Amino acid sequence: MPACRRCAYPARRGRGAPVHAPADEGRAMANITKRSEDYSRWYQDVIQAAELAENSPVRGCMVIRPNGYAIWENIQATLDAKFKELGHVNAYFPLLIPKSFLAKEAEHVEGFAKECAIVTHHRLKQVVVDGKVTVVPDPDSKLEEEYVIRPTSETVIWDQYRKWIQSYRDLPILINQWANVMRWELRTRMFLRTTEFLWQEGHTAHATAEEGRQETLQMLEVYRWFAEEILAMPVITGAKTANERFAGAVETYSIEALMQDNKALQAGTSHDLGQNFAKAFDVKFQDKEGKVEHVWATSWGMSTRIIGALIMVHSDDDGLVLPPRIAGTKAVIVPIWKSDQEMAEVCAAADRIAAQLRPVVGPVHVDKRDNMRPGWKYAEWEAKGVPLRLELGPRDLAGQQVMMAARHDRRKQAAGFDVLAEAVGAELERIQQDLFDRALKRREENTHVVEAWDDFVDLFANRGGGFAHGHWCGDGACEKRIQDETKVTIRNLPFGRDETPGQCVKCGRPSVGRVVFAQAY
């Protein structure tokens, strides 16, 4: 696999033929695979180029680098504020769960048993094998009851809620926790499915079924708001089918987004748990009439997976694209100079402008590095997804203006110093809106109404897939057959869906309305 003789551009790892850089061969830094060429490699390249995360020594776990973690911190800050606005409080429950807890709710065990990491010992012992010192679990330290590293916290939390709840006066309990969880996945992908991931999990307890239902729907609406307003990611809200429901839930609701490769991604879930966990953990309360009853529960979560969705919805072949509202750095100022004196003047002006902008638009970075030229910096900040670049050189200084360049559409325009804060604020708003509009347009262009099975198969096999609105008989077995034959699943039963009766796209039996089908992550 030699380098290309014509241009000396090195061949890519793992492929036979040398791959030429596009017209601009200088793009050696990031070297991002095009989406059209290899979508999943593109995804990995973007993560690397934007320095969001890296693989760790442990398979399936990732190191989230500062650029990636800044996004997560903004997600946390925004959601946390919203949760609290709605009356929730934060708490923390332990990482380790007694093995027996997992077994208490029948469906819950079934759902998670296959992907649990188990702690069996509490001590290591030095041993010498073939003359080399190594460590092994000390057999004498075997735990009497083994612990499971939480795949989710329903069980520990409900064990605790039993102790906290006696009367209706103790309800509702509206607790959220920010935590890491572990699910031993066979196949992992950065952010989208990692063995360990970060999330928030809300766990609430209520006096009535209706109140629980309302909470579930309210939190789903929070996720919809967050995805659409903050992440500029249009989503479909709706109920999951029984097959796709959370293990132990009465009803699961989700938000579903469409990625640029036309695969769907579940970006947040909210579960109405009914009385299942209250019964499993014997959590009862006495109501006003003195009657003793099991409490009603919900849980809801959004994880670092959403960062994967964020990457795939907006980014392009030059790297990451972030909506301003979630970007860690809103704008970067690139000073341009020739002489030392110009450097001093331009940098001083850049600092003044940054100081002026920060209170209005948030974090603004001034890139004063003198070991690379402006063009290099442009490309680098583009790869990292900073929404707006401000170019400031001697000519701008003379004209009392900066050049603003938007990351997502390359639009460049001048903005005078006297109106800079308003101009930058307005441009960031335009970018935010534009990203949403662009994503929504793409989703609409890739959403189809299907009637016949042949058309359904053809859509996903030959016409690029996307979202398909089709009739479904409601039978889980039929749903499974569709999945087995086409890899397509029902993403959800959208709120406000078309409930005109029809015939199931697969089996032709009567249907009470359309559902959303897609191939999914």
Partner RNA sequence: CGGGGCGUGGCGCAGUCCGGUAGCGCACCUGCUUUGGGAGCAGGGGGUCGCGAGUUCGAAUCUCGCCGCCCCGACCA
Dist CA 440 CA 423 (whole Å): 25
Q: What is the dihedral angle through the alpha carbons of 36, 38, 40, 45, rounded to the nearest 10 degrees?
A: -90
Only one of the segments 212-220, 227-235, 270-278, 366-374 lies at the binding site for RNA (rule: CB under 7 A); that segment is: 366-374
Q: How far is the CB of 250 from RNA (least distance, A)?
A: 16
Cβ closest to RNA, residue 142 vs residue 373: 373
Dist CA 291 CA 175 (whole Å): 25
Q: How far is the CB of 24 from RNA (least distance, A)?
A: 5
* 289 in contact with RNA (CB under 7 A): no
Cβ neighbours of 134 (radius 10 Å): 11
Q: Order the strands of the 447-449 sheet from edge to edge.
A: 89-90, 173-182, 196-206, 296-303, 264-274, 251-258, 236-239, 488-494, 514-519, 467-471, 447-449
Please select the residue that binds RNA; options are 7, 20, 37, 59, rule is CB under 7 A: 59
Q: How far is the CB of 505 from RNA (least distance, A)?
A: 19
Show contacts with RNA in window 212-251 (CB under 7 A).
244, 247
Nearest to 48 by CA among 32, 36, 27: 32
Q: How far is the CB of 278 from RNA (least distance, A)?
A: 22
Please select the residue that binds RNA; options are 84, 122, 169, 338, rule is CB under 7 A: 338
* 368 in contact with RNA (CB under 7 A): no
Cβ closest to RNA, residue 347 vs residue 512: 347
**Count of residues engaged in binding RNA, rule: CB under 7 A:** 71
Please select the residue that binds RNA; options are 392, 439, 488, 504, rule is CB under 7 A: 392
Please select the residue that binds RNA; options are 37, 73, 115, 437, rule is CB under 7 A: 115
Q: Are 201 and 76 in contact (CB under 8 A)?
A: no
Dist CA 297 CA 424 (whole Å): 45
Cis peptide, bond prior to residue 172, ω within 30 of zero: yes
The phi, psi pair for 85, rounded to 5°, reads: -55, -35
* 7 in contact with RNA (CB under 7 A): no
Please select the residue that binds RNA; options are 11, 95, 119, 360, rule is CB under 7 A: 11
Cβ closest to RNA, residue 327 vs residue 405: 405
Q: How far is the CB of 488 from RNA (least distance, A)?
A: 10
Show contacts with RNA in window 177-196 (CB under 7 A).
183, 185-190, 193
Dist CA 248 CA 105 (whole Å): 7
Q: How far is the CB of 384 from RNA (least distance, A)?
A: 10
DSSP state, residue 507? T
Q: How far is the CB of 371 from RNA (least distance, A)?
A: 6
Inter-axis angle of helices 476-486 and 453-462, to 10 degrees? 40
